[in-house]
Amino acid sequence: MDFINEFLQNVFGNLANFDWRQVVMWLIGAILIYLAVKKEMEPTLLLPMGFGAILLNLPMSGALEPIEVLYNAGIANDLFPLLLFVGIGAMIDFTPLLSNPKLMLFGAAAQFGIFFTFTMASFIPLFELHDAASIAIIGAADGPTSIKVANSLGTQFAGSIAVAAYSYMALVPVIIPPVVKLVTTKKERQIRMAYSTTQVKQSTKILFPILVTIVAGCIAPEAASLIGFLMFGNLIRECGVLGSLSETAQKVLANLITLFLGITIAFQMQAEKFVKLETFIIIGLGLVAFIFDIIGGVMFAKFINLFSKNKVNPMIGAAGISAFPMASRVVHKMGLEEDPQNFLLMHAAGANVAGQISSAIAGGLILSFML
Amino acid sequence: MGYWEMVGGNVIQSLKYMLFGMAGIFVITAIIIAGMVLLNKAMAGKPKNTSEE
């Protein structure tokens, strides 16, 4: 009998370390994998995060140690998000924005949700001010910015924030249409915008990332790393002499970092940190941030229309959220649904890349305020 | 401790940051737009319509 007991203790003893919250994390991991595989929602991140959530929530998981090494090497010091920004910068074509600079305003307006959510979160006694700021940055609609700000501010909710940020980015096609329809009329959505553009010279495209880095970095020094890495990637793309580096940044670097980023974020998804009331509140506040980003962009476009002779389709404001390129595609599609001859893609893409810059600036400003 | 005593300070701070943040973004944006316009003028010369090219 003792032999059997010893056998059971030695072979199955670890099962005694089970915690019901770990099973909840398995379910969350399974849902993330399902969304990634079946619904193709941000699969490059949701799948590693989902698997990581399962892997790290095995009782006494031996994967904890190597993933903690990765976490300390790549996320705790912001390295992974910043390197990913190099890849994202190399993927972005700023031509639609450079040919119509005023679209930059819509990127700025669509960050309203961040600051609105900051205030909303500060009404909840469960969150300290730095937690509220970290939660609000979900509204940046930009994973690397959310991770960078949450980590820099040292919030304990970094895992929930990353999950919410990437989940809502994946849900942009579901979130934008009803919110836009709520705050616009059919007539407004049918506004056509003329597509005439100034020719953008190669030299302008080269100088633009340098200009943005200097301006944003001087005014909001905490934004220098986010904006700087984003613009570095773009400079590699546009300079015309680093084709292979640009291609590497867009594909190999971005894929490699994404691969490790997802599973490393899961380090913050350990049951004892994740399964609590605050997580659900954070997920709710993330949705608030996205909704008010969209409303901010749309209402700003409507405000511009009060004074402008050339009317702007207010849906362009919704493309000002950072989720690139999905937000612009959704707005373009909505425009075509309202009027099959209304092609908004270039305007929406301009606002969308502006949102990418503005969200990094917003992240930098929040860090400047809080640190 | 009452509810407002718990959160009041944070709410006022966050409202201040909301004001500073949105104002800051628009100021930086305005400078970048001015820079873009100047760059376009300096580098591209007169604006052209793409349909004419």
CA distance B2 to chain A (A): 11
A118 shares contact with chain B (CB less than 8 Å): yes
Contact criterion met (CB below 8 Å) for A365 and B24: yes
A25 shares contact with chain B (CB less than 8 Å): no
Chain B CB contacts of A105 below 8 Å: 26, 29, 33
A221 shares contact with chain B (CB less than 8 Å): no
pLDDT in the model for residue A61: 85
**Nearest in space to A165 (alpha carbons), one of A193, A151, A144, A191:** A144
A239 shares contact with chain B (CB less than 8 Å): no
Structural domain contains residue A17: no
State the Cα–Cα distance between residues A360 and A143, nearest whole angstrom: 11
Place of tokens 């056998």: A7
Say if the ipTM goes beyond 0.95. no
pLDDT tens-digit readout, A188-220 = 999 999 876 667 889 999 999 999 999 999 988
**Nearest in space to B39 (alpha carbons), one of A131, A26, A209, A219:** A209
Structural domain contains residue A25: no
Nearest to B29 among A98, A105, A133 (CB): A105
A289 shares contact with chain B (CB less than 8 Å): no
- Burial of A65 (C-beta count, 10 Å sphere; 0-12/13-18/19+): exposed
pLDDT category, B45, cuts 50, 70, 90? low
For A270, the token pair is 């350990």
**Structural domains in chain A (count):** 1
Statement: residue B47 has pLDDT above 70: no
B23 shares contact with chain A (CB less than 8 Å): no
pLDDT in the model for residue A312: 93
State the Cα–Cα distance between residues A208 and A93, nearest whole angstrom: 11
Nearest to B29 among A108, A122, A124 (CB): A108
CA distance B15 to chain A (A): 6
Structural domain contains residue A38: no
pLDDT tens-digit readout, B2-14 = 899 889 999 999 9
Q: Do B47 and A199 touch (CB under 8 A)?
A: yes
For an interface test with B, the pick among A117, A127, A198, A361 (most B C-beta atoms closer than 10 Å) comes out as: A198
**Boundaries of domain holding A180:** 65-370
pLDDT in the model for residue A220: 84
CB contacts < 8 A (A, B): 128
State the Cα–Cα distance between residues A353 and A234, nearest whole angstrom: 12
pLDDT in the model for residue A196: 63
Instruction: Report the 10 Å Cβ neighbour count for A216.
Output: 29
A196 shares contact with chain B (CB less than 8 Å): yes
Chain B CB contacts of A198 below 8 Å: 40, 44, 47-48
Contact criterion met (CB below 8 Å) for A282 and A160: yes
Structural domain contains residue A324: yes
Q: What percent of chain A has pLDDT over 70?
A: 99
Question: pTM (2 decimals)?
Answer: 0.88
CA distance B5 to chain A (A): 10
pLDDT in the model for residue B42: 87
CA distance B25 to chain A (A): 6
Structural domain contains residue A47: no
pLDDT in the model for residue B48: 52
Statement: residue B52 has pLDDT above 50: no
Q: What percent of chain B has pLDDT over 90?
A: 62
Nearest to A119 among B15, B20, B26 (CB): B15
Structural domain contains residue A183: yes
* C-alpha radius of gyration, chain B, whole number: 22
Residues of chain A falling short of pLDDT 70: 196-198
CA distance A205 to chain B (A): 9
CA distance A45 to chain B (A): 29
pLDDT category, B50, cuts 50, 70, 90? low
pLDDT in the model for residue B53: 43
**Nearest in space to A332 (alpha carbons), one of A314, A312, A347:** A347
Structural domain contains residue A100: yes
A341 shares contact with chain B (CB less than 8 Å): no
Give the 3-state secondary structure percentages of chain B, helix then strand then coil, rounded to 5: 85, 0, 15
pLDDT tens-digit readout, A96-141 = 999 999 999 999 999 999 999 999 999 999 999 999 999 999 999 8
Instruction: Report the 10 Å Cβ neighbour count for B9.
Output: 12
State the Cα–Cα distance between residues A91 and A236, nearest whole angstrom: 10
pLDDT category, B1, cuts 50, 70, 90? confident
Structural domain contains residue A215: yes
